[in-house]
Amino acid sequence: MPTTESRDEIDWPSEFQTDKVKVHVRNEIQINATPEQVWAHLIRALRWPGYYSNAHDVRLIDEPGPDLGPNTRFHWKTFGLNLVSEVLEFVPGKRLAWNGSGLGTWVCHAWLLRPVDDGCWVLTEENQNGWLCRLHKLFRPQHMHEEHQNWLEGLKREAEAGPPPPWPSVS
């Protein structure tokens, strides 16, 4: 299983370098599915609310969907905030990152997927700046870590159950 050296593999934008942010959270999990299977669920953002209870009202902006792609912009609600995010990095089966901005919060969220003997190791990290995220960290210091772990566990359940169902086409 990859180790903490993987932290250096994330290509953070300059304003989100770990030593420049007020909030940093790291979670990881091993999933008994291939990186491609995990990826298929991860980029199907419109399905996140079905297995991640902290994602609501996910809508792609200027895209028919259902999947994220390079430079995809999306609106969603998480941690009680309405965010607009844009995919910054998109390397199928390996790397995904997006930014997000909302009231008093600026974030960058990154994912790494690596094949391992029994499937796929997944790392997710988020770096944040802004007054609201600092307040959240002060009053609920483990909340983001706990929610991101829930997201990983939901992703694990989904990926281990098989591919995501086909998305209904719009006629």
> Is it the case that residue 169 has pLDDT exceeding 60?
no
- The count of other CB atoms within 10 Å of the CB of residue 52 is 20
Note the Cα 126 to chain centre separation in Å: 8
Q: Is 158 left (phi over 0), alpha (psi -120 to 50) or beta?
A: alpha
Measured between alpha carbons, how far is 138 from 38 in angstroms, rounded to an integer? 33
The pTM of the full predicted model, rounded to 2 decimals, is 0.91
> Is it the case that residue 5 has pLDDT exceeding 90?
no
The 3-state DSSP class for residue 126 equals strand
pLDDT of residue 8: 53
Stretch among 5-9, 23-27, 89-93, 109-113 having the lowest mean pLDDT: 5-9
Asked whether 51 and 149 are in contact (CB, 8 A), the reply is: no
Please write the tens of the pLDDT for every residue from 16-75.
999 999 899 999 999 999 999 999 999 999 999 999 999 999 999 987 778 999 999 999
Rg (CA), the chain: 15
pLDDT of residue 6: 42
Please write the tens of the pLDDT for every residue from 102-146.
998 999 999 999 999 999 999 999 999 988 777 777 787 798 999
Q: Any idea which fold 20-161 has?
A: Alpha-D-Glucose-1,6-Bisphosphate; Chain A, domain 4 (3.30.530)
Note the Cα 6 to chain centre separation in Å: 16
Measured between alpha carbons, how far is 141 from 152 in angstroms, rounded to an integer? 19
